[in-house]
Structure formats: C-alpha cells, structure tokens
Amino acid sequence: MPTKGLFGFGRLIESVLATQSDSGPQYVVEAIDTEMGKDIHTVEVPISDYRLIVTRDPANVQAMLATQSVNWDVGEHRTNSWRPLFGDGVFTSRGEAWKHSRALVRPQFARDQINDLDLIERHVQRLFSAIQRSHAVTEEGWTDEFDLQPLFYNMALDITTELIYGYSADSQHPEGRAELPVIPGYDTPDRQNIGMHMDAGKACVETRGALWKYRWLLPTKKLNEHCAAVHKYAEWFVRLRLQRGEKYLERLESESGDVSKKRYVLLDELAKVTQDAVELRSQTLNILTAGRDTTAALMGWIFYFLSRHQGVFDKLREQILAHFGSYAADARNIEFKDLRDSIPYITSVINETLRMAPVIPLNERVALRDTVLPRGGGYHGDEPILVPKGRQVLIPTYAMTRRQDLWGRDVEVFRPERWDEDGGRKFGFEFIPFGGGARQCLGQQFARTKAAYVIVRFLQKYDKIECTQVPPDTPLRFHHTIENRSGSGVQVTLHEAGNHKLLIVTPFDVPNSFVDSLRHQFPDLDAEHRRSEWGSITPTFIPDDVWKDVTVLMTFGTIPTVEQAPKLQFVQLVSAGANHVLDKPLFKDTGVKFCTANGVHGPQISEWIIGTYLSFLHSFPYYLDNQKQATWNRGAHHLIEDSPDKVVGILGYGAIGRQTARVATAMGMTVHAFTLHPRPTPESRHDDSWAPAGLGDPEGVFPSKWFSGSSQEDLHTFLKSGLDLLVVATPLTDNTKSLIGAAEFEALASAGKGRTIVSNIARGPVVNTDEIIAALDQGLIRGAALDVTDPEPLPEGHPLWSAKNVIITPHVSGASTRYAERALEILRTNLERYSEGRNLVNKIKKKRGY
C-alpha cells in the first residue's frame, strides 16, 4: 500500500475547518489523485504521530461495513465528539451500546406509518407559502432570485420534529404553532431557536473534531450552551410523554378507532419500550440529527442539479404530470407505494444526485483487532493489506462514485439515465450514500420517500426552474457538516405552472377514459367529474373546497358564486342556449368566459326538421292513423310530394340551420338563408362555431340566396321568397319574441297560400301561439312541426294540440344518444384552444347573450 504524507497536520485541520473557498473533505481525494494517480485507491497517510488509511476501493468498504463488520466499529473519536450534543444513541454509540440502541429504534423504521405523507404535505405547503410570502413574482410568473437551501433545512426540521415529538418546531410557520400543554415547573421548549442551537452546536463539534485529540485546546462555553439548549428542548417532550403515561396512548387509540390510523409519533412508540428519560432524550436527538440535515441537504442538491439540467427537469415533470396529474392543493392522489414504484426516473434522479453529491461525503471505521482488508497491497494494489488494531480507515464515499473505471467516462456528468440503462443499474459498495452492512442508514426509505414527495409537489407546482448563480458551474463542494458548499447555495428562480383544475358537472355520465385522456393530453390539467341532475343549477352540492381551485368548469347550469370560484377562467356549457345563466353574477359581473355547446345539436335537430317535413310530404300522419285502425287505405297517394327544387328558408343560419342546409341540398332542395347581418362576401358567410367533422356548412356555400336585416320588412322579403319549408332557428331574445306572427304568416302565404310548412325547433315564444293556430286553421300555411311551444309544457286541452296539420313533440329534437359525446368533444376543442392561447369556440358575446 502506498504511503504518502499527503497532508500535514496543519493542512488537515485547515481542510476540516474549511470555509466556502476551500475544498473541505474533497481535499483528501484530490490530493491522492494529483500526487499519486487516479488508479491508486488505497493509501496510508501519516499525520503527525498518527497513521490513517484512506480507501476508495469497494471491496475494502464491503469488508469493513458488511462481511467483516465484527472486526470494525465506528471510531471513538466520532462518538466522543457528538455525544455531548446528542447523548448516547444509535448514531453516537459503539459496541454493545450501539447494538442495544439499534435494536430499540430499528423496529420503528419498518413501519409504514413513518412515511406519513399528510405530515410531509402540510410542511411542503408551508414551504410554498414561505416562497410566496417572501418572493415577488414578475408579470411573466417568475419569482425573484433566492436560495432554496435554507428553506429545505427549515422544512426538514419541521417535519422531523413533528414526526419524532408530535409537535413541530414550525420554523416555517411560527405564527401558526400549535399551543403546547403546560407542564408545571417547566418552561415550554424554545421552538424558535432549536434549529439555530442544533446548527451552532454541530459547528462547534465539527471545529473541535478537526483538532482531534487536541480538541481540549478549544474553549467549551459556546458548545455547552448549545448542548444545554438542545437537551432542554428534547427533555420537555420526553417529560410530557412520561407524564401522560400509557393511558394517554390507549385513549388516543380508542378515540381514533382504528389503531393503524393514529398519527405516528416516534417518541410515543419508543416510550412503550423504555421509560428512561435520558435514553429517550438521546435516542430521539440522534434520530433528529440523522434525519434532518441529511434530507434537507439531499433536497438542496436535487434542485441544484435540476436548475442546471433543464432537460432532466422537463422529462421528470412530464412523467410526474402524466402519472399524478397537475398541481392540486389537496394532493389527494399521491400514495406512498406509487411514489416508490411508479416513476423510476424519480429514483434515478435521486440516485444520480447522491452519486454526484453524497450528502455524507466521508465515513470511517476503526479496526477492533489486527485484521486484513482484501485490497491495496502489492505492486498493483490488488493484494490484501494488514490493518493493525486501532488503525482508522477513512471511506471517502464521494470518491468511489467519481471513479471512471467504475462509472464510465462521463462520471463527472449529471446523467440520471445511467441508472436505467441495461435493465437498471445494479450497485454494490461503490454506491453507499446510506452506508451499508450492519450500520446501514435506518432512515433510507423515509428519506427517499420525502425527497420523492417534495420533487413531485415542486414539479407539479413549478414548470420551470433556472439557476441564478453567476457563473453557474463552479466546482461541486461538499462539507462534513452535510451541506452544499458549492458556489452560493441553491440560487434559483422558479416559475409557477399555470395549472388548471377542470370540474365537469354534468347530468350525464362521463366515461373515466375520457377524463383520463384529457389528463394525458393536458398534463397541467387536474380533471374531476361529478354527476348532477338535469336542470340542476344549485352550486351548493359541490363543496367550497373543490370550487376554490376550479379554473375550468363544464356544466349545464351549476354556476358557482364569484367568491366560491375565484380562479375560474372559463365555463363550457353543456347546452346550446345560455338563457339560464345570463342573470348570474359570474356571467354578468366578471370576465369569466362562457361558451355554449352550439353545434352539438346539428345532426339530430336537422334530422328532426327533415323528418317531420317529409312526414308532411309523404302523409305519414294520415297513414299512421290508418295503420292504428288496421285499414289499407291509399287515400292520400295523389297528394304525396318529393323535395327536389322545393325551397327551404332558414331563419337563423347557425349550426342547426347549416346542417339542415346540407341535408336539404342533398335532397335537391334550394336553400334561402336569413341572418341579422348581411353576408355579402364569401368570407362573411363563414361560420367558426363548432360542428362535427364533415358536417354543417362552415364555409356558407349551401344557400343560393342570402337575406338579412333587422326590420319586419327585411324579414318579410325573405318570407315572401317562395318557401316550402320555413325553419325557425333563431335564439330567443327580447327582439325575437313573437317574431313570427299573423303578419309573417300572411307574408308566407303571399307566395302561395297553404304552401309553407313552418318548423320551430328554436324556442316556443319566437312563434306567436294564437296566431299560428289561426294561420293553420285558415290554411295560410300548410302545416307546422313544433318541437317547442309556448307555454311549455303544453297543457292538456290547449287548442294547439288540436290545431289543423300540426306535429308536436315535447322538446326532444335535440336529444341524441351521441349528445354527451359531442358536448365533451367541444370541451376538448376548447381546452386545446385555451392551452394554445387561441380564441375559444362558441364563446358567448356577453352583450348579445348568445
């Protein structure tokens, strides 16, 4: 094994006392690389009167941590340094004491409840609030520049204290701290400063550790103060727990009914096994320190890399949105198992982060007896070496994940894909961010779950992240104190995603496959369907909690108040008409866009029009009457007509009129159209409202004559143009009430008395009821097909029922088994347009009301 005085005692101290500008623990391996060569993996280094072995050989590491772990333990130096701050616990003890500790705490980490996603979610929300509170957002949606790292430390402190003690330090949310019970004679714990005392205490330990056996040279006053504060904090909760006794837990369990649903508190569980106050204090503090900074640093590093690798960020986000949907405040669909298994790329990003920046960059062991490590000796360094009892071995974890011979030529590149190659990379002791063997990290699963959860929520909420450090690519720097010392932290600016929540409230079923296809097509869309009754307009059956995030609503008439749905941006109505929403404050007083389902009725209503019209031409009512009486009577055959060259006049050339024109043209009829405004040019005849593909008349090519105007005279010119069929297809407004009355029937008759069949599929009041009865009785018109009447429903005994030559159906012409399918297709079209920033189809002009 090569031996080299790579770093004098002074240089080692300097590296350990590292400031931002130097290399900290990296110095150890950089020195081996530059002074001895990249292919030397195990060296012995004399420091003052002490000899240290440094190895980055996985075979040696495996022997120390796993296969020969009985011959090794963590160094006394490490345990002695940390003990004053955290006491004797699983992290700071050796030998039999460690075995006892591990046996005590290990069962806790095997429980599913430790991965409490509700708890993590609560603190993630506070992190988001902290970002929103402290960082202004530009008009383009970017936050100002800030360092994410300290926010992760606060969040990790809050999560870990709550998990361990049942009450969070709430460093992110001091004003909302839950009130603590009073313990007579004991001050409530200092939740405000616990983070500071832990950090400062840790810094003292690090500084003293650097002086190794000479640490007594440093004064202990500051360290003692911080240790006392940290102990006092934990002691308070231990005392509370012990005072409450077993009855407390039993009560909690009986109150929550299901024991498995009781909120998990680590201290509660440990106190079932031991009531030793000092032991409880020490074990909980050990876990607090093992769990807090590590996960905070990991999250910092993850976002450090994501902010520098937009491609990875985008790929990860796409997969997250495809699986979990876009950001919704309640995170209801994220489950532990899903986080672990569903998106392997999340695991790859976490692994790659830990490879590039293992948050615990150095580990160590001491030989308990004379022993042998498998490699490092001989000319090629591949023969065993003898390690005498008491010799310390440094394991530079980060250096093993930087070996080109183990990881490939792009070892310095952050590339998560390497973990998916060749059916998924298997790893051994060259990748031990969580340690390995007997003392392997107990919190690995919890740390990975927490990191994955934070990634999912962050990438749901923010669609872009940019690194704002200048220059961005300073060398990576780690530190013993588990922090990122590269450049200036995790300097970023974030862009919040324009996430949407679609609520579909329909009186018909919506297939799950449709909702899923929307989620797939629009990754930022969170979609939910709720069934309503036909005609239902009260918004109260939907909780305010749901309304508050809704940005897009599809409904018949369930319209929330302005306050209920502050984020609502557009409403897609299921109906072609909008009369029932015109007086709603959300329609009248806000800029929320409303769209109709215009076009959804084209095929079925045009068929109804042509069907009833053909009934007249072919005397179907006459023959049906005969059929009911089993009478073979050809009586009316000489009256039967066909359609070529007949003229259909369409009053209101919208979606229904245009499809009617298409069908009528196919039958050889001539089409006359009437619209309010003139359409003199081909362009002006276009219609951009929705129509099923290949149907309708979007170009306006079917009418041979086009009439227009707003006066009665204009209307009469149209009615006098020789119509065999008049289709009333105009919306009901103040101007169209009784639009067709006695004078209009006279106008129709002027081109031939008894020639015209009037077909009303619009709204009853557009045609004057008394006057159409008279026109029918007097034979001014040939007949009437009415799907709508005034009043509606038409009462029993009403004279319209028995008027001459009338076909009445009860407002059903718009019904079709394909209705829902078409309405949903309109919604999809509008979502597409909305997401592309294009004009919505069928948008209601608010002044006009349709």
Site for ligand HEM in 503-522 (CB under 6 A): none
CB of 43 to ligand HEM, least distance (A): 21
The helix (H) or strand (E) run that includes residue 42 is: strand 42-47
C-beta of 439 vs 679, nearer to ligand HEM: 439
Among 91, 152, 419, 453, binds ligand HEM (CB under 6 A): 91
CB of 95 to ligand HEM, least distance (A): 12
List phi, psi (to 5°) of 386.
-90, 130
With beta carbons less than 8 A apart as the criterion, state whether 805 and 675 touch. no
CB of 117 to ligand HEM, least distance (A): 15
Contact region with ligand HEM (CB under 6 A), list: 366-374, 381-389, 428-436, 626-634: 428-436
Among 143, 172, 363, 612, binds ligand HEM (CB under 6 A): 363
User: Token match 């292919």: residue?
Assistant: 39
Whole-angstrom Cα distance, residue 487 to residue 477?
8
Q: Is 441 annotated as a binding residue?
A: yes
C-beta of 26 vs 736, nearer to ligand HEM: 26
DSSP codes joined into one string, 509-572: ---HHHHHHHHHH-TTEEEEEEE--TT---GGGS-HHHHTT-SEEEESS----TTT-TT--EEE
**Count, residues near ligand HEM per rule CB under 6 A:** 22
Site for ligand HEM in 273-292 (CB under 6 A): 287, 290-291
* Three-class HEC string of 280-309: HHHHHHHHHHHHHHHHHHHHHHHHHHHCCC
CB of 599 to ligand HEM, least distance (A): 55
DSSP 598: T
CB of 688 to ligand HEM, least distance (A): 55
Whole-angstrom Cα distance, residue 279 to residue 154?
26
Among 230, 265, 360, 552, binds ligand HEM (CB under 6 A): 360
User: Edge-to-edge strand order for the sheet containing 491-496?
Assistant: 146-147, 491-496, 462-467
Among 435, 487, 523, 577, binds ligand HEM (CB under 6 A): 435
Strand partners, 137: 143
With beta carbons less than 8 A apart as the criterion, state whether 596 and 570 touch. no
Contact region with ligand HEM (CB under 6 A), list: 129-137, 165-173, 437-445, 602-610: 437-445
C-beta of 102 vs 798, nearer to ligand HEM: 102
Residue nearest to ligand HEM (CB): 443
How many helices (H) and strands (E) would you count in the chain?
27, 24
Pairing mode of beta strands 72-73, 383-387: unpaired
DSSP helix/strand/coil, 791: coil
C-beta of 60 vs 813, nearer to ligand HEM: 60
List phi, psi (to 5°) of 583.
-95, 10
Query: What would the x/- binding string for ligand HEM be over residues 821 to 840, using CB under 6 A?
Result: --------------------
DSSP 64: I
Site for ligand HEM in 98-157 (CB under 6 A): 102
Site for ligand HEM in 293-312 (CB under 6 A): 294-295, 298
Among 74, 157, 571, 758, binds ligand HEM (CB under 6 A): 74
CB of 212 to ligand HEM, least distance (A): 18
Q: Does 702 bind ligand HEM (CB under 6 A)?
A: no
Q: Does 399 bind ligand HEM (CB under 6 A)?
A: no
CB of 177 to ligand HEM, least distance (A): 22
Whole-angstrom Cα distance, residue 485 to residue 198?
19
Among 85, 157, 223, 359, binds ligand HEM (CB under 6 A): 359
Pairing mode of beta strands 362-367, 392-396: antiparallel
Residue 563 tokens read as 């306050």
Site for ligand HEM in 439-458 (CB under 6 A): 439, 441-443, 446-447
* Three-class HEC string of 72-98: EECCHHHHHHHHHHHCCCCCCCCHHHH
Site for ligand HEM in 784-823 (CB under 6 A): none
Q: Which residues are annotated as a binding site for heme?
A: 441
Point out the annotated binding site: 441
Interface contacts to ligand HEM, rule CB under 6 A: 74, 90-91, 102, 287, 290-291, 294-295, 298, 359-360, 363, 433-435, 439, 441-443, 446-447
